[in-house]
Amino acid sequence: MLNVPPVVTATLAVLALVQALRGWVLSPNANIEFLLLFSFIPARYDPAMVAQGVPGGLGAQIWTFVTYALIHGNLTHLAVNAVWFLAFGSAVARRFGAARFLVFSAVTAAAGAAMHLLTHFGEFMPMVGASAAISGYMAAAMRFAFQHGGPLGLWRAHEAHAYHVPAAPLRAAFADPRILAFLLVWFGLNLLLGLGSLSLTGEEQEVAWQAHIGGFLAGLLLFRWFDPVDATAAPDQDTGADAPPP
């Protein structure tokens, strides 16, 4: 917490600035225009709704797949996401580096928006929040955090090295009971969110849990395309020792 990667600090600062702009600078009408231009609105992709004048045109159809993740409904929403962002975003940023982290953030946010679009096509209710990208960080961290010598490993020599241990192959990851428990808890929480029996912000509002799943799946499946650590020396899953060369 006291050694947060600069890219995480900068991203959180942007999220805070966007919230301050909406809450203390923009007029109510300007705030609505801001949301119409930068939040993710499934109706934007319905030709019938577009004919009624959804603002932004083709540009908004593209950039809102990412820009919605910079906006939050209120300070509580932002604070809750900031806590998870610090925990999992920091781990992924330490491993990926700033540039890969930012691209990964955009990709997982877009994947969350795509899943939301598939399940809410034509709806005009805007979606905002960084939760889909954060879900992607959770999935990515799961691939290396439990590894021998990793951040959650029982033994590790150096804190910096813990974030650069070889990641578990996807098949091996699913055989790890700790990862399976993590998946069970994560999907269980999102099921409760979907059923409306759990609120993370303390308010009665719909949670875009489908977007969480979209971001998580993208982070899980695309992790190896972003991971800069050589996976050929992955530790043996039974002994924790380095696997012999092929």
For residues 69-73, average pLDDT: 96
Cβ–Cβ under 8 Å, residues 90 and 8 = yes
Q: What percent of the chain has pLDDT over 90?
A: 59
The CA-based diameter of the chain, rounded to the nearest angstrom, is 64
126 occurs within a structural domain = yes
Read off the DSSP letter of residue 234: P
Distance CA 137, CA 104 (A): 9
Give the domain extent around 129. Answer: 6-226
What are the residues whose beta carbons fall under 8 Å from the beta carbon of 165, sequence distance 6 or more? Answer: 144, 147, 148, 149, 150, 153, 229, 235
Q: What percent of the chain has pLDDT over 70?
A: 83
Distance CA 47, CA 187 (A): 34
241 occurs within a structural domain = no
Give the total number of structural domains in the chain. 1
Distance CA 154, CA 205 (A): 40
Of 23-37, 64-78, 92-106, 200-214, which range is least confident?
200-214
**Structure token pair of residue 6:** 């600069």
pLDDT in tens, 218-240: 999 999 999 999 866 544 443 33
For residues 120-135, average pLDDT: 94
243 occurs within a structural domain = no
For residues 14-19, average pLDDT: 98
Beta-bridge partner residues of 40: 127
Model pTM score: 0.85
Q: Is the pLDDT of residue 14 over 50?
A: yes
11 occurs within a structural domain = yes
Measured torsion, CA atoms of residues 128, 132, 134, 140, in degrees rounded to the nearest 10: -160
Distance CA 146, CA 165 (A): 10
Q: Is the pLDDT of residue 186 over 50?
A: yes
23 occurs within a structural domain = yes
Distance CA 132, CA 214 (A): 7
Measured torsion, CA atoms of residues 187, 190, 196, 200, in degrees rounded to the nearest 10: 130
Cα dihedral sign, 18-24-26-31: positive
242 occurs within a structural domain = no
237 occurs within a structural domain = no
Distance CA 89, CA 11 (A): 10
Read off the DSSP letter of residue 12: H
pLDDT recorded at residue 52: 64
**CATH number for 163:** 1.20.1540.10
Q: Which one has a higher pLDDT value, 41 or 193?
A: 41
Q: Is the pLDDT of residue 53 over 80?
A: no
Q: Is the pLDDT of residue 207 over 70?
A: yes
231 occurs within a structural domain = no
